[in-house]
């Protein structure tokens, strides 16, 4: 099953099995919001999304991304 990958405006990635409404992604404290990166059903798909420079995100360490992917997808 696909997981939706989000980049938190506080830093860090997280996933959700369901798409998250914008009102939950938006942070009233700072006016910033988390954003959807994409959907992935396995590690290969997640890698494709997270190891591109296509997104204007903060940079994360490769080790963090690797760990995140291994925790969230079994294969």
E strand spans, 1-75: 3-7, 13-16, 35-40
Angle at 31 between CA 53 and CA 69, to 5 degrees: 35
CB-based closest residue to Zn ion: 27
Q: Is 27 in the site for Zn ion (CB under 5 A)?
A: yes
29 binds Zn ion (CB under 5 A): yes
Using CB under 5 A as the binding criterion, the count of chain residues that bind Zn ion stands at: 3
Query: Is residue 11 near Zn ion by the rule CB under 5 A?
Result: no
**Alpha carbon of 66 to those of 5, 20, 22: distances in Å?**
14, 24, 27
Interface positions, 35-74, toward Zn ion (CB under 5 A): none
What does the binding site for Zn ion look like in residue numbers (CB under 5 A)? 27, 29-30
């Amino acid at each position: 099953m696909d997981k939706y990958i989000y980049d938190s405006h506080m830093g860090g990635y997280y996933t959700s099995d369901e798409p998250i409404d914008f009102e939950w992604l938006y942070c009233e404290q700072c006016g910033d919001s988390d954003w959807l990166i994409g959907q992935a059903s396995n590690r290969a798909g997640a890698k494709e999304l997270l190891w591109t420079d296509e997104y204007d995100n903060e940079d994360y360490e490769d080790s963090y991304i690797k760990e995140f992917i291994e925790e969230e997808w079994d294969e």
